[in-house]
Chains A and B, each alone.
Chain A
Amino acid sequence: MANGRYFVAPPSPWPVVTALGLALLLAGFGLLLHGGSLVPSILGAIVLLLAVQRWFAAVIRENQAGLYDAQVNRSFRLGMAWFIFSEVMLFGALFGALFYVRELAVPWLGGEGAKGAAHLLWPHFVNHWPLLEMPRSSDFDVPNAAMGPVGIPAINTAVLLSSALTVTLAHWGLKRKARRALAGWLLVTILLGVTFVVLQLHEYAHAYRELGLTLHSGIYGSTFYLLTGFHGLHVSLGVIMLSVILGRALKGHFTPTEHFGFEAVSWYWHFVDVIWLGLYLFVYWW
Chain B
Amino acid sequence: MDGKGVTLVGLWVPVVASAAQEEPFGLNMHYGVTAAAHQVYQLHMLVFWVCAVIGAGVFAVMSWSLLRHRRSRGAQAARFAGNTRLEIVWTVIPALILIAIAVPATSVLLAINALPTPDLTVDVHGSQWRWHYSYTGHELAFFSNLDSASREASRLGATRFPSDVSYYLRDVDNPLVLPVGKHVRLRLTSDDVIHSWWVPALGFKRDALPGYVNEADIVIERPGLYRGQCAELCGAGHGFMPIVVQAVSAEEFQSWLAQRKQAQAAERSAAAAPWSMAVAMAEGKKVFDSICAACHQADGKGIPGAFPPLDGSAVVNGPLQAHLRFVIHGSPRNPVMRPFGKELDDRQLAALLTYERNGWSNHTGDLVTPQQVEAAR
Residues of A bordering B, CB below 8 Å: 108-109, 115, 117-118, 120-122, 135
| Those of B207-266 within 8 Å (CB) of chain A | 211-215
A118 touches B211 (CB 8 A): yes
Q: What's the least CB distance linking A114 to chain B, in Å?
A: 10
- Is A117 a contact of B215 with CB atoms below 8 Å? yes
Chain A residues near B187: list those with CB within 8 A.
Answer: 117, 120
Extra 15 A-B pairs, beta carbons < 8 Å, given A118-B211, A121-B213, A135-B211: A108-B212, A109-B211, A109-B212, A115-B212, A115-B213, A115-B214, A117-B187, A117-B212, A117-B213, A117-B214, A118-B212, A120-B187, A120-B213, A121-B212, A122-B211
Q: How far is the CA of A198 from the CA of B189 in the complex (A)?
A: 45
State the total of A-B contacts with C-beta under 8 angstroms: 22
A108 to B214, CA, bound (A): 12
Can you name the residue of chain A whose Cβ is closest to the Cβ of B189?
A121
* Chain A residue with the shortest CB-CB distance to B211: A121
- Measured between beta carbons, the chain A residues less than 8 angstroms from B189 are 121
Name the residue on B nearest A136 (C-beta).
B211
In the complex, the chain B residue whose C-beta lies closest to that of A116 is B213
Bound: A207/B325 CA distance, A: 36
* Alpha-carbon separation in the docked complex, A115 to B213 (Å): 7
In the assembled complex, 22 residue pairs joining A and B whose CB atoms fall closer than 8 Å, in A order, are A108-B212, A109-B211, A109-B212, A115-B212, A115-B213, A115-B214, A117-B187, A117-B212, A117-B213, A117-B214, A117-B215, A118-B211, A118-B212, A118-B213, A120-B187, A120-B213, A121-B189, A121-B211, A121-B212, A121-B213, A122-B211, A135-B211
Residues of A near B211 (CB, < 8 A) are: 109, 118, 121-122, 135
Q: Considering the chains assembled together, what is the distance between the CA atoms of A109 and B212 in angstroms? A: 7
Nearest CB to that of B213 among chain A residues?
A117
Which of B189, B211, B214, B215 gathers most chain A CB within 10 Å?
A: B211
- The residues in B between 141 and 188 inclusive whose CB is less than 8 angstroms from any CB of A are 187
Complex Cα–Cα for A176 and B214 (A): 66
Residues of A within 8 A of B213 (CB): 115, 117-118, 120-121
Contacts of A115 in B (CB 8 A): 212-214
Residue numbers of B with Cβ under 8 A of A are 187, 189, 211-215
Complex: A177 Cα to B14 Cα, angstroms = 86
- Give the nearest-CB partner of B209 in chain A: A118
CB-CB under 8 A from A108, the residues of chain B are: 212
Within the complex, the shortest CB–CB distance from A116 to chain B, in Å, comes to 9
Q: How far is the CB of B260 from chain A (nearest CB, A)?
A: 24
In the complex, chain B residues whose CB is within 8 Å of the CB of A109: 211-212
* Complex: A121 Cα to B211 Cα, angstroms: 7
What separation, in Å, do the CA atoms of A122 and B213 have in the docked complex? 11
The 7 A-B residue pairs with the shortest CB-CB distance in the complex, in nearest-first order? A117-B213, A118-B212, A118-B213, A120-B213, A117-B215, A121-B211, A121-B189
Question: Given the complex, which residues of B lie within 8 Å of A117, measured CB to CB?
Answer: 187, 212-215
- The docked-state distance in angstroms from the alpha carbon of A121 to that of B189 is 9
Query: In the complex, what's the smallest C-beta–C-beta distance from B376 to chain A, in angstroms?
Result: 20
- Bound complex: CA A122 to CA B211 (Å): 8
Closest to A120 in B: B213
By beta carbon, the residue of chain A nearest B188 is A117
Q: How far is the CB of A280 from chain B (nearest CB, A)?
A: 31
Instruction: Select the residue from B187, B189, B212, B215 with max chain A CB neighbours within 10 A.
Output: B212
Q: How far is the CA of A61 from the CA of B6 in the complex (A)?
A: 73
Report the minimal beta-carbon distance from B115 to chain A, rounded to whole angstroms.
10
B residues within 8 A CB of A121?
189, 211-213
Q: How far is the CA of A69 from the CA of B211 in the complex (A)?
A: 59
Closest-by-CB residue of B relative to A117 is: B213
**With the chains together, A117 CA to B213 CA distance in Å?**
6
Nearest Cβ in chain A — how far from B184, in angstroms? 16
Minimum distance in angstroms from A94 CB to a CB of chain B: 22
Shortest Cβ gap from B190 to chain A (Å): 10
Interface centre among B187, B213, B214, B215 (most CB of A within 10 A): B213
A118 to B211, CA, bound (A): 7
| A122 proximity list for chain B (CB < 8 A) | 211
A113 to B127, CA, bound (A): 26
A118–B214 Cα distance when bound, in Å, is: 8
A283 to B110, CA, bound (A): 37
A45 to B214, CA, bound (A): 47
- Closest-CB distance, A119 to chain B (whole angstroms): 8
Cα of A233 to Cα of B117 in the assembled complex, Å: 53
- Measured in the bound complex, the distance between the Cα atoms of B189 and A135 in whole Å is 15
A135 to chain B, nearest CB (A): 7
Given the complex, which residues of B lie within 8 Å of A135, measured CB to CB? 211
